[in-house]
Every structure is written in C-alpha cells, then in structure tokens.
Amino acid sequence: MIAASRAGSALGALGLVLALSGCAGQLGSASPASDTSASQSAPSAAPSAAATLAAPSSAADDLAAIKSDLDQADAAQSQSETDLGDADVAASRDDN
Amino acid sequence: MKPILRSALVGTLAVAALAAGAVPAMASPASSVTASDSTANLSTIQASGAAKTSARITSLNAAIARVTANKALTEADRSAILATLNADVAAMKSLAVTIAADTVVATARADYASIFTVYRVYAVALPQAHLAAAADALTDKALPRLTSAESKLAAALLGKFASKSTPELQARLADMTNQIAAAKAAVDGAAGKALAVTPADFNANHAVMAPIRASIVSAHSAAKLARADARSILAALK
C-alpha cells in the first residue's frame, strides 16, 4: 500500500515535471518560434512582394532602355547635324 | 592630304595660277587683290596674304580643338584629320612668312595663290573634317543606338507587350527597320570618302564634296524617320 502510494507520488511528480517541462519548452521556444516564423514568413513574403514589383518594373525598365537608346541616337544625330552645318559654314567661305 | 604632296604641288599650281592670272577674289574690298587685278602691288599682296593665312590658322586651330574633343570620331579618322589640319597650320604659318619676305610681285602673287589652290583650307580641309565627323556620329553612335532600340522594340512587341501589338505598330517597326537600313547604306563609307578628297580633286571639280554631303543628309533623313517610328511605338506601349 505504501509502495503503491510512493509509486503514485513518484508518477505524479514525474507528470508534474514533464508538464512543467513542456510548458517551459513552450515558453522557451515561444520567442525563437516567433523568430522562426518571422524569418520563414519573410523569405516567403519577400519573393512574393518582389514578384509583384518586378513585373511592372521590368516592363518599365524595358521601355526605359528603349527610350535611352533613342535619346542617345537623338544626341548623336544632333551632333552629326552640327558637324554638317560646320562643314557648310567652312565651305561657304572664300577659298576660290 | 599628305603635306609632302601638298608641298610638291605648291610650285606647280602656284605657277599655273599665276599664268592664268587666277589670284583669288577677295571678300573684303579693303584687300584689293582680285582675280581681275593684275596690278596689285607687293605690299597689297603681302597684306592680303597675311590676313588670309591668319584667318585660316585661326579656323584650323578652332577645328583642331573641336576634332580633338569630338567623341563620335573614330580614332583613325581623328588621327587623319588632325594630321591634315596641323600640317595646314604649319603650311599657313610658313606661307605667311614666305609672302611677307617676297620681294618680287610675281613671286608674291604665286605664293599668295597657293594659299587657295594648294591647301583649300575652307573648301576641303575643314569641310572634310566636319563631314567625316558627321558621318562617324551616324555610323558609330546614332545608328547603332537605333538598331538597339529596334531590337528591343521587336522583342517587346513579341513578349511583354504582345497584347498591345497591332498591325499598325508592326508596320511602324518594319518601316523603322527599313529606314535604319537606308541610313546605313547612305552613310556607308562617307567618312572615308570625305577624307580622301584632296585640294587637287577640288581644283578639278568644285562639286566633289557635294555627293558626300548629300549622302549624309540622306542618312539624317532616314534616321530621323526611324526615330519617329520608334517614338510612336514607344508611346503606344506606355
């Protein structure tokens, strides 16, 4: 009877320890778990956000690159036309 | 033109000009040496010679600075142009000294005539430098950028912007392609042709530069149309 009582007490104590340990585990891991959750959700959210931004910006970048090419072509032709005008000015001077 | 060849031509052409009484007409009434004036005295020829050589030296030095700073010129063309311009500066300085030291009217007149007939600074050296620069700006800068834009527009109409592609935009793209090709064909070799013209070529044919200029103008027109096509496509895709 005594032995059974002792065994029951021991099991009760063990249960209490395990219960407390479990709570502690939960409490102790609460912060890391939330960190993990944050760190896991960030990467998963980041590509999603990047994908959302990348699609329109990629198209915009394409158009910007075309515009840049055209602007450079404009500038080069403007230079060419200036050079042509300079040739005309020189040729119009008395040299005959 | 090679300085040595020019020097070799000085005597021949100057004598020929003298024999023909072809002293160039003067722009300023103050300098009285004209083609019809065979009686200009030594001091008048010398004064006019000093003014003419000085003006050319000023123009040449200004052109040298611009050619040196020009980012569109190929290095080979820049080198060729600067060689001619610097040689002409040296020649004008030398001629100024020679004419000032002349003691015989006929000799002074021949030296004076060589300013024009041998060097053609205004008729050949400077125009050919500017024409070559104009051609290089097209062939090495403007047209490659237009070609790049054309490729990107074609990719855009087939890719991300396929939903916006219309027969009209495709037609504009096709026209852009054709205009770029036309511009390239028109300006092809123009810089080399300009730099190959010599004063002797000009003396034989005063319109020798005209076809080169016309080809560059034609390329300008085609490139302008290509850019207009591109701009309209770009606007439609926005």
* Per-residue pLDDT reduced to its tens digit, B186-208: 999 999 999 999 999 999 999 99
Residue B105: CB partners within 8 Å, gap ≥ 6? B40, B41, B42, B45
Q: Is pLDDT above 60 for A41?
A: no
Q: Are B175 and B229 in contact (CB under 8 A)?
A: yes
Pull the structure tokens for residue A58.
């990629």
User: Which residues of A fall within a CB distance of 8 Å from B223?
Assistant: 73, 77
The pLDDT value given to residue A96: 60
| Rg of chain A in Å (alpha carbons) | 39
Q: Are A93 and B122 in contact (CB under 8 A)?
A: yes
Contact A77 B231 (CB under 8 A): no
Average confidence (pLDDT) over A60-89? 95
To the nearest whole number, what is the mean pLDDT of chain B?
87
Q: Is pLDDT above 90 for A17?
A: no
| Dist. CA B21–CA B112, nearest whole Å | 12
Identify the CA nearest to B189 among candidates B149, B219, B146, B227.
B219
Give the burial string for A62-80 (b: 16+ CB within 10 Å, else e): bbeebbebbebbbebbebb
3-state secondary structure of B24: coil
| Rg of chain B in Å (alpha carbons) | 24
Q: Which amino acid type is present at position B178?
A: N
Q: Which amino acid type is present at position B106?
A: A
Where does the pLDDT of residue B33 fall: very low under 50, low under 70, confident under 90, or very high at 90 and above? Answer: low
Where does the pLDDT of residue B238 fall: very low under 50, low under 70, confident under 90, or very high at 90 and above? Answer: confident
| Dist. CA B80–CA B82, nearest whole Å | 6
Q: Is pLDDT above 90 for B147?
A: yes
Identify the CA nearest to B47 among candidates B104, B114, B99, B91.
B99
| Dist. CA A23–CA B133, nearest whole Å | 83
Q: Is pLDDT above 60 for B51?
A: yes
The pLDDT value given to residue B129: 97
**B144: nearest CA in chain A?**
A73
- The CA dihedral of A50, A55, A56, A60, to the nearest 10 degrees, is 110
Q: Are B44 and B31 in contact (CB under 8 A)?
A: yes
Identify the CA nearest to B68 among candidates B116, B113, B133.
B133
Residue B209: CB partners within 8 Å, gap ≥ 6? A87, A91, B123, B124, B127, B128, B131, B194, B197, B202
Pull the structure tokens for residue B30.
């103050």
- A2 and chain B: CB distance < 8 Å anywhere? no
Which has the higher per-residue pLDDT, B54 or B21?
A: B54
Closest chain B C-alpha to A43 CA, distance in angstroms: 27
Q: Which amino acid type is present at position A54?
A: A
Q: Phi and psi (nearest 5°) for B70?
A: -70, 120
| Dist. CA B12–CA B72, nearest whole Å | 37
Contact B160 A58 (CB under 8 A): yes
The pLDDT value given to residue A31: 39
Pull the structure tokens for residue B20.
């023909």
Q: Is pLDDT above 60 for A47?
A: no
Q: Is the dihedral of CA A73, A74, A75, A77 positive or negative?
A: positive
Average confidence (pLDDT) over B22-47? 58
pLDDT in tens, B60-98: 999 999 999 999 999 999 999 999 999 999 999 999 999
Write out residues 165-204 of B within 8 Å (CB-CB) of A: none
CA dist B125 → B56, B81, B85, B89, B129 (Å) = 10, 8, 7, 11, 6
For B171-202, give the DSSP string.
HHHHHHHHHHHHHHHHHTTHHHHHHH--HHHH
Q: Which of A72, A90, A95 sits opposite B145 (nearest CB)?
A: A72
Residue A37: CB partners within 8 Å, gap ≥ 6? none
- B122 and chain A: CB distance < 8 Å anywhere? yes
Closest chain B C-alpha to A48 CA, distance in angstroms: 20
Where does the pLDDT of residue A58 fall: very low under 50, low under 70, confident under 90, or very high at 90 and above? Answer: confident
Write out residues 130-159 of B within 8 Å (CB-CB) of A: 130-131, 133-135, 137-138, 141-143, 145-146, 148-149, 152-153, 155-156
User: Which residues of B fall within a CB distance of 8 Å from A63?
Assistant: 156, 234, 237-238
Q: Is pLDDT above 70 for A24?
A: no
